[in-house]
Amino acid sequence: MDLSTLKPMLDKVNGPVKGAKGLPSVLYTSQDAFDLEREHIFKRGWACIGFGQDVPEPGDAKPIDFMGMPLLLLRDHEGQIKVFENVCRHRGMILVEEPKNFGGVIRCPYHSWCYSMDGKLRATPHVGGPGINKSDAIDPTKTGLTPIATGVFMDVVFVNVSGDAEDFDNFIAPLRKQLADFADKPLYPASDSKGFTLDIQANWKLILENNCESYHLPWVHPGLNSYSRLEDHYCFIEQGFSGQGTLVYNPGLHPEIDLPDFADLPSKWDKSAEYPSVYPNVFFAVHRDHFWAAHLDPKAHDRTTERVMLYYASEEAAESADFAPLRAENARLWKEVLSEDIFVTQGMQRGRGAVSFDGGVFSPEMDSPTHAFHAWVAQRLGG
Amino acid sequence: MADLTPAQIDARLKQLHGQLEAAAELSDLHEQAAQLADVSGDHRFHITHAWVFALVAGDDARIALLEARLRALGGL
């Protein structure tokens, strides 16, 4: 598969939503397509790889397999999030195999080349012969860990592996505007019921597409009908994301107590909540009393890990025993809702095996956010 | 740590192989081995290893001392 063979199919995706086709099935069913997307979408643009909470303490480091690209997410001793390629510059050995805290340097297990948390090459033992720890052939200033362009927004960590995407501030500006009431507020990760992970036998795009729209809610999430009807939802399409919102957010986690709200929120958030699906692979979910994000980690063309991390509005809300039952119930509810989506994403994945399925059609009224994502993918693949 | 014989040091180093949480002890063991080395190359070899494990442990004071010794020995 190459881009030229895809182009006629991708051209049918672009244009007005009325009359447009969905992305062709081959983009969901083949390793070749997965490889193309890795090159043209995930490497060349900004994509999510995890959360700041994955490395909560200075010195913490977590290896990440980003679609076959070994990365190392770390928090340096000054508390800054950094991402490097997780390979020694000497022989390309994987440096860190499992999450751990580094009090000192990161040592390659092969020949013990050592790197400080800022990526600088700190030691090259025996490189000039036994006991000689320097060599004219190795310039430490040019042989540090390879840094990866990194940006963090609301604790969600984005990377641009190619390093030539637009500036992160420009990339995130439309989402920052959409979520302006939450964007700069401190977030407190839950001390318990932190989140959950779902292993889904479906292409990553299907999961994001499903999150874009509210059309499916009454059919797939019947529990929501009691307090969040279809007509209480709205959709939006912006640069780099699309999604849905509700006007009647009122989860009622406990009959007597509520989680505290984020400070100084405009009154519109008393009953509203919004769920932007940020292309290519992360959902944001803002509510007056909590925030979550879901990272879609593509593992194969037909398998995705969805990892959700929950945050609250204050230290007390996130950590106190008084709110522990609400945190547990909140996490349980969201896991239930997102798990209810699995049968449709997995069903659509199997449906992509139908030889006559042509990508499907869109309702201009209900599917526009999904079409916007399809068009975004098509454009990045050259359509 | 009490002074150990070369055989005891060697046995303990093998026991701790791969256990980076024991980096401080590994650094100390190599420093002891360096003191017992009767060949200058062996001495610098063990000081190098003591230095690497001090770096892993993040022991800045020990790192500075070992780097000074390595410079004096022509190893840095």
Q: Find out whether A275 and A284 touch, Cβ atoms under 8 Å.
A: yes
Q: Residue type for A59, please?
A: G
Residue from the list B48, B55, B59 with its beta carbon closest to the beta carbon of A126: B48
Look up residue B38 and give its two tokens. Answer: 């009767």
Substitution target from A57, A117, A132 for chain B, most B beta carbons within 10 A: A132
Confidence (pLDDT) at B2: 62
Say if residues A274 and A286 touch (Cβ distance below 8 Å): yes
Please check the confidence at residue A1 and state whether its pLDDT lies above 80: no
pLDDT at A103: 95
Which chain A positions have a beta carbon within 8 Å of B69's beta carbon?
none
User: What DSSP character marks residue A51?
Assistant: E
Could you tell me what percent of chain B has a pLDDT over 70?
97
Its pTM stands at 0.95
pLDDT tens by residue, A185-228:
999 999 999 999 999 999 999 999 999 988 888 888 877 766 66
What's the gap between Cα A177 and its chain centre? 19
CB A271 within 8 A of CB A289: no
- Classify residue B11 as left (phi > 0), alpha (psi -120 to 50) or beta: alpha
CB contact under 8 A, B56 and A134: no
Nearest residue to B73 (alpha-carbon basis) of B52, B35, B50, B47: B47
Q: What is the pLDDT of residue B41?
A: 82
Cross-strand bridge partners of residue A71: A64, A85
3-class secondary structure, A264:
coil
Contact B51 A125 (CB under 8 A): yes
| Å between A307 CA and nearest CA of chain B | 30
DSSP A322: G
* DSSP alpha helix (H) spans, chain A: 3-11, 26-29, 31-37, 168-178, 180-183, 204-212, 217-220, 315-319, 324-340, 342-351, 368-380
Closest CB to A131: pick one of B48, B56, B58: B48
**Residue B1: predicted pLDDT:** 58
Percent share of chain A, pLDDT over 90: 89
Give the mutation candidate from A106, A110, A133, A134 for the B interface (greatest B CB count, under 10 A). A133
User: What's the CA gap between A161 and A95, in Å, rounded?
Assistant: 18
CA distance, residue A124 to nearest chain B CA (Å): 9
Q: What count of other Cβ atoms lies within 10 Å of the Cβ of residue B40?
A: 11
Q: How far is A125 from chain B (nearest CA, A)?
A: 7
Q: Which residues are within 8 A (CB) of A148 and not within 5 positions of it... i.e. 6 or more apart?
A: A71, A83, A84, A85, A159, A160, A161, A163
- pLDDT in the model for residue A156: 98
Structure tokens at A186: 């401190």
A132 interface with B at CB cutoff 8 Å: yes
At residue A332, the pLDDT reads: 95
Q: What distance in Å separates the CA atoms of residue A29 and residue A52, rounded to the nearest whole number?
A: 32
Q: Cα angle at A247 between A243 and A248, to 5 degrees?
A: 125
List phi, psi (to 5°) of A107.
-105, 130
Instruction: Give the whole-angstrom CA distance, residue A6 versus residue A24.
Output: 8
DSSP strands (E only) in A262-302: 273-278, 282-286, 290-300
Confidence (pLDDT) at A259: 94
Q: Any chain B CB within 8 A of the CB of A332?
A: no
Residues A161-177: tens digit of each pLDDT? 999 999 999 999 999 99
Least confident of A23-27, A352-356, B1-5: B1-5
Contact across the interface for A134 and B76, Cβ inside 8 Å: yes
User: Using CA atoms, how far apart are residues A186 and A2, in angstroms rounded to an integer?
Assistant: 45
Nearest to A154 by CA among A242, A288, A53: A53
Contact B49 A125 (CB under 8 A): yes
Per-residue pLDDT at B70: 97
pLDDT (average), residues A372-382: 96
The ipTM estimated for the assembled molecules is 0.94
Residue with more model confidence, B56 or A257: B56
The tens digit of pLDDT for each residue in A323-346 reads: 999 999 999 999 999 999 999 999
Q: What is the mean pLDDT of chain A?
A: 95
> For residue A77, what is the DSSP state?
T
pLDDT of residue A319: 96
pLDDT of residue A128: 96
Q: Count CA atoms within 13 Å of residue A121 on its CB side.
A: 21
How confident is the model over A220-269, as pLDDT tens digits? 887 776 666 788 899 999 999 999 999 988 877 888 899 999 999 999 99
Q: Is A184 exposed, middle or buried (0-12, 13-18, 19+ CB in 10 A)?
A: exposed
Average pLDDT of the segment spanning B30-36: 94
Q: CA nearest B50 in A: which residue? A: A125
B10-27 pLDDT tens trace: 999 999 998 989 999 999
Query: What is the 3-class SS of A14-48, one letter each residue?
Result: CCCCCCCCCCCCHHHHCHHHHHHHHHHHHHCCCEE
